[in-house]
Copies of this chain bind each other. A is one copy, B any other.
Amino acid sequence: MVNEIGFVGLGIMGRPMAKNLIKHGCSLMVNDISLEAVKELTRAGAKAGTLSEIGASCEIVFISLPNGKIVQEVLFNENALSSSLRPGSLVIDTSSVTPDDAHTCENRLKEKGVSFIDAPVSGGEPKAIDGTLAIMAGGKPEDFDRALPYFKMIGGSATLIGECGSGSIAKLANQIIVNLNIAAVSEALVLAAKAGADPRKVFEAIRGGLAGSAVLDAKAPMMMDRNFKPGGKISINLKDIKNVTKTAQEIDVPLPFTSLLLEVMLALKVSGHLEEDHSAIVKFFEGLANVQLGKQSES
């Protein structure tokens, strides 16, 4: 174990991951643009530090940020992490970015003798809190082995997919499945509700069969309870789905369902649902059919 672990980005996902590292005995130096988030972590036992302080004193630095652009700013801006990271140190980026973003980070850090793993996570806030995230990593096996003790503190599983960028590929694949499955659950429950069946009973009846999924169990109750508190915001998932279509267009993979999903999520942005949980994707379909799951099942 190294002396001090850096953690940059204390959002919905970063905060519980950082706390779990502390719980497992790590000495943490943290940074975020939100002073409140930093305070919450210092109360939990972390030290606060600037990016260059973290770079100078931490051999291993975790990153958890909203997108690839901010990841690169935090790494490569003046006085940012890479200004002070020492050769031999390791950056673990748990953000969801494109494979291209990951390759850029890897190549620019390599010039300074710093290793990089793209290690996006899945499971949302609840699994981040429980320390049972699914971690999908891309990088060198020796760097993965070095990160593994810390992955075990924040995740239920950690898989080395392949070289750098492949963690991000796996995460894009993950986000296709998650968000399309939310759309599928939405169409199914909206149809059931308008056809006069109680969506809660339909949910109970189908969840044990082939329709069963983590999405169905986590998101259908939120839809029916009209609880759209994130969890995983539409804004973050829209960013991921944009990264999917960008990547797919670069390597010639037609994705008719994911493209339609992007249009749906853009429509939800326009109608003001960007900061809600992605279970609010159901609102698009409720709008089309002029029916609401919650109202249906209260009646």
What is A's interface to B at a CB cutoff of 8 Å? 99, 121-124, 127, 132-136, 156-157, 159-162, 166, 169-170, 172-174, 176-178, 180-181, 183-185, 187-192, 194-198, 201-202, 204-216, 218, 232, 244, 247-248, 251-258, 260-261, 264, 285, 288-291
CB distance from A295 to the nearest CB of B (A): 15
Instruction: Name A's interface SS.
Output: helix
Copies of this subunit: 2
Query: Can you give 16 contacting A-B residue pairs, CB < 8 Å?
Result: A133-B209, A159-B201, A169-B191, A169-B196, A169-B202, A170-B202, A170-B205, A174-B188, A174-B205, A174-B211, A177-B184, A177-B188, A187-B257, A253-B289, A256-B288, A257-B261
Are B176 and A191 in touch, CB under 8 angstroms?
yes
CB distance from A216 to the nearest CB of B (A): 7
Are A212 and B213 in touch, CB under 8 angstroms?
yes
Give the nearest-CB partner of A172 in chain B: B191
A209 contact set on B, CB distance < 8 A: 121-123, 127, 133-134, 174, 214
Contacts A159-B201, A206-B122; is A251 near B173 (CB within 8 Å)?
no
Are B196 and A162 in touch, CB under 8 angstroms?
yes
Give bound CA distance, A159 to B204, whole Å. 7
Contacts A198-B162, A210-B124, A214-B213; is A177 near B169 (CB within 8 Å)?
no
